[in-house]
Amino acid sequence: MRRVLIATVASAVAVLAGCAAPQQPEVTFYTDGQSAATTPRVRFDLAEGRAIRDEGALVQLKTRQGAPVQISVPAELSDGAWTVSFSYLDATGNRVDGGSKAFFPKDEQHAFTLTLPPGSRRLLLVSVQQIVFLNGIEPVVSAYWDMETVER
């Protein structure tokens, strides 16, 4: 009887593990001596045309003015196209939005370091964006990994 119970529990665990949602890739942000890894804050199910949001995936890191942000992406992202966008306050306090070039598999780029222009007041948000190509030609962002900064 005990063997049957153990076999039944083991089978149930295997079935449940097989039904679990696939693990989402994590992006790691490093700044000012701290790091945080996170899953996508927003993913788009392109087949169903809907957004899947996880506000708990937004990471916040304290940073000093002028501190760079290093970003490390897993192979699930670097094996496809990705880019980094960001927002910051310039020397006059105006919000500026910017972005990196797009990285493609041939670039073999697994990391990016964001350094703001001299005199910038504060980094606000950094976002890694996964890019897919609809019909092989139209670029669409399919997921966002986001980091927000908090001043020290």
Average pLDDT of the residues of the chain = 87
Q: Would you say 83 and 103 are in contact if contact means Cβ atoms under 8 Å apart?
A: yes
Q: Is residue 52 part of a domain?
A: yes
Q: Is residue 83 part of a domain?
A: yes
Q: Is residue 103 part of a domain?
A: yes
- Cα torsion 103, 106, 71, 41: sign: positive
The residue behind tokens 């665990």 is 13
The whole model's pTM is what?
Answer: 0.82
72-110 pLDDT tens trace: 999 999 999 999 999 999 999 999 999 999 999 999 999
- Residue 119 Cα distances to 11, 21, 62, angstroms: 61, 45, 19
Query: What is the length of the chain?
Result: 152
Q: Is residue 14 part of a domain?
A: no
18-27 pLDDT tens trace: 455 668 999 9
Which tops the pLDDT comparison, 10 or 55? Answer: 55
Q: Is residue 95 part of a domain?
A: yes
Q: Would you say 125 and 7 are in contact if contact means Cβ atoms under 8 Å apart?
A: no
46-67 pLDDT tens trace: 888 899 999 999 999 999 888 9
Q: Is residue 19 part of a domain?
A: no
Kindly give, in sequence order, each residue whose CB lies less than 8 Å from that of residue 64, ignoring residues fewer than 6 positions away: 32, 151, 152
Q: Would you say 73 and 86 are in contact if contact means Cβ atoms under 8 Å apart?
A: no
Nearest Cα residue to 35 out of 122, 111, 109, 117:
111
The domain tally of the chain equals 1
| 40: containing domain | 25-151
Q: Is residue 130 part of a domain?
A: yes
